[in-house]
Amino acid sequence: MEVIIRPDADAAALLAARVMADHIRTNWRIVLGLATGRTMEQVYDLLCEMHKQEGLDFSGCVTFNLDEYIGLGATNPHSYRYYMNQHLFSRVNIEMRRTHLPDGMAKDLKAECREYEDRIKSYGGIDFQLLGIGVDGHIGFNEPLSSLRSRTRDKALTPETARQNCAMFGGDPNKVPKRALTMGVGTILEARHVLLVATGESKAEVLLKAIEGPITSMISASALQLHPSCTIICDEAAASKLQGKDYYHWIFDNEPEWEKYHSGPLMTLMGKN
Ligand code: F6R
């Protein structure tokens, strides 16, 4: 696992978008695993900007989202399908038929989950998985006590997650659907590369547990410590409780693979460093 700390949320999102763009550029037929949520909005805005300004090409990409609320269809503005269409798919040159989310309206949810796993396999697995982290440590909707070997399935959401996500539902946690379909922790761990993005003070405590705490199903994100190719990009606020901060800073400043990200056209354009 590699932890990279950037000064603020803008710089963290920019670095995440640039890393993801480089993966897309080097593998035209890339299979992307995608997340939703507030953290990703900025990352997707930047990817759209790179598409517009630098011609970042999504035409070969296949995408699989992590999760979808049960009972919300594609035209429901609270569904993750709607979110993805709004924030990314309709703004870049990706073919809609290559974009996949679990169907929260499926009559047979178990069959839908099995079929989703099969579809991921049929494309050769996920090359690059983008992740956020919930305040309860979830990745996807793998709430505490999710098996570290879990596969795509339906999952009840914790009250904490309902509170975290209620802004999109008029601020009322009771309006957040109680269940969702989500890729499992085991599914996520099979991606060839994983990039988790965390910003803001509200993520500091959970990030400490996920990165420097023991591997436990109480914090699903801690399972990423087992992943052979995992990068965490966070801002100073989310990193504020990490014990190894100095070392993580050193990595970004000194490791050759990060050197090309110390400057760049879009970063200059946005006044970031
Ligand atoms: C959503 C998902 C979730 C979010 C997490 C963080 O598809 O996978 O795990 O990434 O809840 O959400 P934000 O960014 O809104 O704090």
Q: pLDDT by residue (tens digit) across 62-99?
A: 999 999 999 999 999 999 999 999 999 999 999 999 99
Query: Is the minimum distance from the CB of 81 to ligand 1 under 6 angstroms?
Result: no
Query: Is the minimum distance from the CB of 195 to ligand 1 under 6 angstroms?
Result: no
Amino acid letter for position 262 = H
Q: Is the pLDDT of residue 5 over 90?
A: yes
Helix (H), strand (E) at residue 233:
strand 230-235
Q: How confident is the model at residue 273 (pLDDT cuts 50, 70, 90)?
A: very low
CA dihedral (79, 234, 136, 132) positive or negative: positive
User: Which residue of the set 138, 190, 227, 236 is catalytic?
Assistant: 138
Q: How far is CA 2 from CA 115, 217, 232, in A?
A: 33, 21, 6
Whole-angstrom Cα distance, residue 68 to residue 141? Answer: 9
Radius of gyration of the chain (CA): 18
> Which one-letter DSSP state was computed for residue 216?
B
Q: Which residue has the tokens 């339906």?
A: 154
Percent of the chain at pLDDT > 90 equals: 96
Q: What is the pLDDT of residues 218-236, one digit of tens each?
A: 999 999 999 999 999 999 9
| Residue 268, pLDDT score | 54
Whole-angstrom Cα distance, residue 168 to residue 117? Answer: 28
Mutate to test the pocket of ligand 1, among 32, 34, 38, 39 (most ligand atoms within 8 A of CB): 39
CA dihedral (134, 140, 144, 148) positive or negative: negative
Query: Is position 143 annotated as part of the catalytic site?
Result: yes
> Which one-letter DSSP state was computed for residue 158?
P
Query: Is the minimum distance from the CB of 38 to ligand 1 under 6 angstroms?
Result: yes
Q: Is the pLDDT of residue 267 over 60?
A: no
The answer to whether 183 and 33 are in contact (CB under 8 A) is yes
| Residue 271, pLDDT score | 53
Mutate to test the pocket of ligand 1, among 34, 44, 66, 182 (most ligand atoms within 8 A of CB): 66
Closest ligand 1 atom to Cα of 182: 8
> Which one-letter DSSP state was computed for residue 219?
B
Q: How confident is the model at residue 264 (pLDDT cuts 50, 70, 90)?
A: confident
Residue 71: both structure tokens together: 């009972």
Residue 68: both structure tokens together: 């979808």
Q: Is the pLDDT of residue 15 over 50?
A: yes
Helix (H), strand (E) at residue 250:
helix 245-254
